Each structure stands twice: as structure tokens, then as C-alpha cells.
Amino acid sequence: MLLGQVASQNRVPYVVQTSGPTLLASTANNLNKELGKNLHQREWGRKLGHLKKKFFLGNDHRGKIWSNGNYSDLDNNVIDNLLNYRHN
């Protein structure tokens, strides 16, 4: 399975944001709800920044953020998961 499933809820992940220059507050709220976290929008954005830096992706890289924390390219190929990164 390309995107996997959220083990705790056994649900198929869905896209919470596609591209955009900023991680939206609604994206942070969805991630917190789906992943049982309580991180500020800025903290999720920092995680995304660390992921992009690790994989040499520019800040303007177009991708998708999924409800299970995965970040993928526009063809749904998972690059990594935001939970693998520190937010500070």
C-alpha cells in the first residue's frame, strides 16, 4: 500500500493540504486531531521545513501533507513522515 493506514484508527489517510507557501492552521488542526498531538501551526511548519531540508527540497517544493503525517510529491510518492522530525 503506497500511503499505508493509520494503525490506531485503521483509516485510509487523506490529504489535509496540497502545496502552498505556508502550512495552514487548518492543516495543523487536522494533524493534531488525527495524530493525537497538540502542536502549534508553527511547530508543524518547522517539521516540514526540516523534512524538506533533509531531502534537499526547496521551500517552494510542491507536495501533499496527509492526515497520517506523510509528506508526498504530487504523484503521491511518500517522501517521509513529519513525525520523524523535531519541531524546535
21 occurs within a structural domain? yes
10 occurs within a structural domain? no
Q: What is the C-alpha to C-alpha distance for residues 39 and 28, in angstroms, rounded to an integer?
A: 7
Q: What is the C-alpha to C-alpha distance for residues 39 and 79, in angstroms, rounded to an integer?
A: 21
50 occurs within a structural domain? yes
46 occurs within a structural domain? yes
Range of the domain at 57: 15-84
5 occurs within a structural domain? no
59 occurs within a structural domain? yes
Provide the CB-side half-sphere exposure for 58 (13 A, CA): 5
The model's pTM: 0.86
Q: Write the burial class of residue 65 (CB in 10 Å: 0-12 exposed, 13-18 middle, 19+ buried).
A: buried
4 occurs within a structural domain? no
Q: What residues have CB less than 8 Å from 7, skipping those under 6 apart?
A: none
Please list the ranges in the chain whose pLDDT falls under 70.
Answer: 1-10, 88
> How many domains, the chain?
1
Q: What is the pLDDT of residues 19-36, one digit of tens each?
A: 888 999 999 999 999 999
